[in-house]
Amino acid sequence: MACRPPCPCGWSCFCMVFFLGLLLAEAVHGAGRSEPAARSTPSLVPAEARVLRRIAVRLGVSSWDFTAGTGPCDQGDSGVHCDCSFSNGTICHVTEIFLKGQNFSGELPPDFADLPNLLQLDLSRSLFHGGVPDQWARMKLQGLSLMGNRLSGPFPMVLTRITTLTNLSIESNEFYGPTPPEIGHLIRIEKLILSTNEFTGPLPTALSLFSNITDLRISSTNFSGRMPDFWGKLKRLEKLQIEGSLLEGPLPSSLSELTNLSDLRISDLRGSGSSFPDLSRMTSMNKLVLRNCSISGSIPPYIGTWTTLKHLDLSFNKLSGEIPPSFASMGAVDYMDISFNNFTTGSSGPSQCLQGSVNLVESYSAEANSLNSIQPCLKRNFPCVASNGQYHSSLHINCGDKEATINGTKYEADTTPKGASLLYVSPGLNWAFSSTGNFMDDNINDDDYIATSASTLVVPNSDLYTKARLSPLSLTYYGLCMLSGSYTVNLHFAEIVFTNDSTYYSLGKRRFNVFIQGRMVLEDFDIEQSAGAAAKPVIKTFQTYVTNHTLEIQFYWAGRGTTGIPYRGSYGPLISAISAVEPPKAGSSKKRSSRASIALIIGIPIVAIFAALIVGIYCIIKKQRKSSMHKELRALDLQIGSFTLRQIKAATRNFDAANKIGEGGFGSVYKGLLSDGTIIAVKQLSSRSKQGNREFVNEIGMISALQHPNLVKLYGCCTEGNQLSLVYEYMENNCLARALFVEQYRLRMDWGTRHKICLGIARGLAYLHEDSAIRIVHRDIKASNILLDKDLNAKISDFGLAKLNEDDHTHISTKVAGTIGYMAPEYAMRGYLTDKADVYSFGVVVLEIACVLHERGTLLELVDPDLGSNYSTEEALLMLNVALLCTTAAPTLRPKMSKVVSLLEGSTPLQTLLSDLSLAANSLSSSGVRRNFWQNPSESQSLTAQASCSDTNESSTIDIDGILRPLNTGSSLWSVVSELLSIFYFVSEKITNWTLILHLIAVNYQLQLGDELIPIKIFASTWNVGGKSPRGLNLDEWLHSSPPADIYVLGFQEIVPLNAGNVLGTEDNLPAKKSVSLVSLSGGH
């Protein structure tokens, strides 16, 4: 054995030292790794944390905690989700933000665009208003939901630039106009929901480019035109909903190519009918709704073989033949509605109205009525089956609630259990109701068909409004065994599902149609809008006639209104109570009066009779004028309420000056509060007013016959004593003039709101001119006669000066009624009155709305600084072009208001103005202007807060003899015109490839002649700077680069002398005051 070398520690020591060395190395290496481990806690990028802080401040979010390194990321229900996988798990980026149902208000924060990794953003069910920020265009979102807000304006073009979107929902907002073709840029879209907006025009063909789309919903819109036939290109489509639009049939054949469909809903198509579409390959169908599409023919038997079908609605069509035998084995169906069709009986046809969950009420044709095997409920007339055979002359139902006695009248209980398919006959066999429809999409198995108010209603007769009967689709009440004759039908409504508070519950819209005896009496009826608020009663009164002993009142949901606010589901018709009574018979009244007269003669002493006669004669003489007016009022047969003077005084606190809100041409206007909580506006007619009683009678006679969302509603009148008053709905935002021109009340209105106001005025005027029963020319359209409700919807007021035109002829008025500055020239100068006078005034109002240019304003008020850059140049030019069309000199060149509506809605493209303007220029010849133009008053009156909505101009007849001469561009008056034109130089900085047209410029100023100020006016008919941009030119160079073709001055011939070389002999006396009356501009961007 060899000896080991000598070692102080031996081998054992060496091994121990080596082992300790390894441990030390491992410890050192582990310590080296411990430092990165300490830094591995992820943290949010500081820049994104700052963005979230800004968003929290804007939205008022106080729950986000920024003390942790990751900020509010994934903190409980913060709604902020982050991805912390960046840089080996050390860096977090915000990727998802879900803030739905938070009731946020204000405008959408642009700050979301500063989160570069944000993929999902949900801001649904809040109270955001305005538009979508332009900054969002740089976002890389995949999913965006803005559903259930108050966003408005045309389709947000910024969304078409977020090409990464796969899911987009802007449902239940206030967007309007056509859908731009640029929507086709969203080539990755898989889910698109545009429902419940005011989109117009045809369905964009760009939808056919969405090859990846699986879910498309465009219900409750104003899309119009024929149903397109491009559906076969959307092969992946699984859900298609087109309910409640203005589209026309027939159903396109390309629907048969959508073999992946499981949810198809199309309803309420207009136009011609169609046969049943071929759906045989859609074997995965779960919900099929083809309601009110004018489908004729028989039901295909293959539908009865679908094992996945849960919901089938083929109601309100023209289907005929027998019900397929295969329907008898459809055990998987939860709900089926084939009511209101024209089936005939057969061996396989059901013999009852309700077979399980199938509704067949009124589903059989008239030919089937003769068959004894058909139950009465299937027929289209209901025989009287009362055991006592007694007929009734009245009907009172407290819909959805227990029995109630109101003013001595008993309203029968209607507490029938709920049910999707229900036919109920009252115990007395004197009335019945049929309910059809299923509350789809609410994910609630136990639907409630009776609504209960969430709060205690403090209103008169509250027992009628605490509960109401609901239906998701159709609700029909039948008055049975009714006596034949005339009836007055009162329908009681109160919206008790939606609220008035500052939550998204207040955004719900319920719209439905009402039919009485098969005649539509209300279309797109909105209870809350009609009543002025939620939880507020409103009664609608109608006259009808019963001939077959059955009174039929139907409430039908035509697919309009919200289906996602406050929750996902159906918000169909709602009714609180129904009453129908025979009107009083004149004969019975006379008999009672005769008997009372005989008793009076016999029972009262002769002396008392003579005394009564004397008093009677005295009263007749005293009230002779009042009696005449009462006869006129009774002759009008008005459908409005009557208020006592006591009620009016109590509501206005005896016409307290603190409640005075305006001064109209008839007299003062006061705010009032009725005992039931209704806020009203009372127009107190002054006994000193020029219009007098005749105009009062005319006004209420006309207004009571006019019903339109954009006309101020008349509640009633008071004619007690010498008091003449009208009671209107109260408009929370007063009038447009105050909103635009009074500093302390001026409203900051975005472009979408301004467009909505213009469109509302146009729709109201179109109704007056073309759609009302009598043709109405308002004659005094101006900003102070446009009232604004709480949502800034425009409503036209003051029909007291309206002129009835019952034929298509024009009217020559000997007395011009209106406001100078708004009046059409042909009306102001010659009393030549047509509806085109209103069109002209509308054009002036549009300019005021767009530019905040009051007729007595200054030059610098032309451009509204409040808008800044928050508007589209194209939209601004569209509105101004519409105003230009409306203010064309020649009345025949002005469009009809229905044309204006289509232009503003975008359903009709704006036609070129060149030909119209050339014709208009011709009308501005020397003799033309003498015939057609007027002169403004010399004094400039300021608009005060106290009288902001007052009529500051009395009606007057203007008779001037104007003369014209060309304006020398070298004269001192040219400086006035130059000042006017300089404002366009400023505006044009942002416009290229443009054409500036100054049309009907009217510069008012006063010329000093001795001690007298003489008002005159400058007219520039047309100045066209074609193809040139002032960019790079100074103002003088620009103005003189292409001098105006013809500028004229109009003055008094007998006062203002003319010299050969000058326009005015005293032109060196510059005007003391000047203002702009009307400016119109057009151009292209």
Which range (108-112, 242-246, 546-550) has the least confidence?
546-550
**CB-CB contact of 663 with 703 (8 Å):** no
Question: Does residue 863 carry a pLDDT above 50?
Answer: no
- Taking the CA atoms of the chain, what radius of gyration do you get in angstroms? 36
Strands 1046-1052 and 962-963: antiparallel
Task: Give the helix ranges, DSSP H, for 672-818.
Answer: 692-703, 736-741, 751-766
Supply the pLDDT for residue 447: 60
The model's confidence at residue 257, banded by pLDDT at 50, 70 and 90, is very high
**CB-CB contact of 850 with 876 (8 Å):** yes
Residue with tokens 């635009």: 740
CA angle 144, 150, 152 (to 5 degrees): 85
Which range (369-373, 468-472, 644-648) has the least confidence?
369-373
Judging by beta carbons within 10 Å of its beta carbon (0-12, 13-18, 19+), is residue 28 exposed, middle or buried? exposed
The token pair that represents 416 in the structure block: 């029938």
Question: Does residue 378 carry a pLDDT above 70?
Answer: no
Instruction: Give catalytic status of residue 268 as yes or no.
Output: no
Q: Is the dihedral of CA 665, 668, 669, 674 positive or negative?
A: negative
Strand ranges, E, within 797-877: 803-804, 811-812, 832-833
Q: Is the dihedral of CA 68, 74, 76, 77 positive or negative?
A: positive
The amino acid occupying position 792 is L
Residue with tokens 């080539």: 187
Taking the model in full, what pTM does it have? 0.55
Q: Determine the average pLDDT of the residues in 220-237.
A: 92
Identify the structural domains of the chain with CATH numbers, from first to last: 43-270+285-292+312-317 (3.80.10.10), 394-584 (2.60.120.430), 736-1076 (1.10.510.10)
Cα separation, 221 vs 263, in Å, equals 19
Cα separation, 532 vs 554, in Å, equals 24
683 known ligand binder? yes
The model's confidence at residue 714, banded by pLDDT at 50, 70 and 90, is confident
**Residue 754 neighbours by CB distance under 10 Å:** 23
Supply the pLDDT for residue 442: 63
pLDDT tens for each residue of 957-1003: 222 233 333 344 444 444 444 444 443 333 333 333 323 333 333 33
What share of the chain in percent tops pLDDT 70? 62
The model's confidence at residue 594, banded by pLDDT at 50, 70 and 90, is very low
Q: Determine the average pLDDT of the residues in 390-408.
A: 92
Cα separation, 484 vs 516, in Å, equals 15
Q: Which residue has the higher pLDDT, 383 or 993?
A: 383
Picking from 335, 338, 326, 430, the residue whose alpha carbon sits closest to that of residue 378 is 338
Residue with tokens 């000093």: 1008
The token pair that represents 499 in the structure block: 């609220």
Supply the pLDDT for residue 416: 82
Cα separation, 410 vs 1006, in Å, equals 72
The token pair that represents 818 in the structure block: 């209106």
Q: Which residue has the higher pLDDT, 574 or 915?
A: 574
**CB-CB contact of 493 with 540 (8 Å):** yes
The token pair that represents 1012 in the structure block: 């007298």
pLDDT tens for each residue of 115-135: 999 999 999 999 999 999 999
Q: Determine the average pLDDT of the residues in 418-426.
A: 73
Q: Which residue has the higher pLDDT, 324 or 912?
A: 324
Strands 667-673 and 660-663: antiparallel
pLDDT tens for each residue of 153-203: 999 999 999 999 999 999 999 999 999 999 999 999 999 999 999 999 999
The token pair that represents 725 in the structure block: 């008053």
Q: Is the dihedral of CA 1022, 1027, 1031, 1035 positive or negative?
A: negative
- Residue 140, CA distances (Å) to 49, 55, 100, 120 in order: 19, 18, 20, 9
**CB-CB contact of 123 with 145 (8 Å):** yes
Q: Is the dihedral of CA 844, 845, 848, 850 positive or negative?
A: negative
The model's confidence at residue 362, banded by pLDDT at 50, 70 and 90, is low
The model's confidence at residue 605, banded by pLDDT at 50, 70 and 90, is low
Strands 143-145 and 1001-1009: unpaired
Question: Does residue 864 carry a pLDDT above 90?
Answer: no
**Residue 77 neighbours by CB distance under 10 Å:** 7
The model's confidence at residue 211, banded by pLDDT at 50, 70 and 90, is very high
The model's confidence at residue 488, banded by pLDDT at 50, 70 and 90, is very high
Supply the pLDDT for residue 137: 95
Report the residue count for the chain.
1085
Question: Does residue 915 carry a pLDDT above 70?
Answer: no
Q: Determine the average pLDDT of the residues in 882-897.
A: 81
The model's confidence at residue 949, banded by pLDDT at 50, 70 and 90, is low
Supply the pLDDT for residue 390: 79
The model's confidence at residue 410, banded by pLDDT at 50, 70 and 90, is very high
The model's confidence at residue 1081, banded by pLDDT at 50, 70 and 90, is very low
Catalytic residue among 401, 780, 835, 838: 780
Question: Does residue 800 carry a pLDDT above 70?
Answer: no
Cα separation, 164 vs 192, in Å, equals 13
Cα separation, 306 vs 284, in Å, equals 8
**CB-CB contact of 659 with 682 (8 Å):** no
Supply the pLDDT for residue 887: 80
Question: Does residue 404 carry a pLDDT above 60?
Answer: yes
Q: Which residue has the higher pLDDT, 396 or 967?
A: 396
Supply the pLDDT for residue 787: 94
Give φ, ψ of 211 to 5 degrees. Answer: -70, -15
The model's confidence at residue 899, banded by pLDDT at 50, 70 and 90, is confident
Query: How far is residue 779 CA from its own chain's centroid?
Result: 25
Supply the pLDDT for residue 1008: 40
The model's confidence at residue 345, banded by pLDDT at 50, 70 and 90, is low
Cα separation, 838 vs 850, in Å, equals 18
Picking from 336, 246, 175, 275, the residue whose alpha carbon sits closest to that of residue 752 is 175
Question: Does residue 388 carry a pLDDT above 90?
Answer: no
Supply the pLDDT for residue 724: 77
Judging by beta carbons within 10 Å of its beta carbon (0-12, 13-18, 19+), is residue 97 exposed, middle or buried? buried
Which range (148-152, 256-260, 692-696, 1019-1023) has the least confidence?
1019-1023
Which range (13-17, 82-86, 718-722) has the least confidence?
13-17
pLDDT tens for each residue of 460-470: 888 999 999 98
Cα separation, 505 vs 566, in Å, equals 5
pLDDT tens for each residue of 732-753: 888 998 888 887 788 878 888 8
**CB-CB contact of 713 with 730 (8 Å):** no
Task: Give the helix ranges, DSSP H, for 585-708.
Answer: 586-603, 606-622, 624-636, 645-652, 692-703
Highest mean pLDDT among 115-119, 534-538, 688-692: 115-119
Q: Determine the average pLDDT of the residues in 481-507.
A: 88
Q: Which residue has the higher pLDDT, 100 or 1074?
A: 100
Question: Does residue 48 carry a pLDDT above 60?
Answer: yes
**CB-CB contact of 784 with 951 (8 Å):** yes
Q: Which residue has the higher pLDDT, 302 or 863?
A: 302
Give φ, ψ of 668 to 5 degrees. Answer: -80, 155
Largest CA distance in the chain: 168
pLDDT tens for each residue of 91-102: 999 999 999 999
Question: Does residue 103 carry a pLDDT above 70?
Answer: yes
In a 13 Å sphere around the CA of 1083, the CA atoms on its Cβ side amount to 25
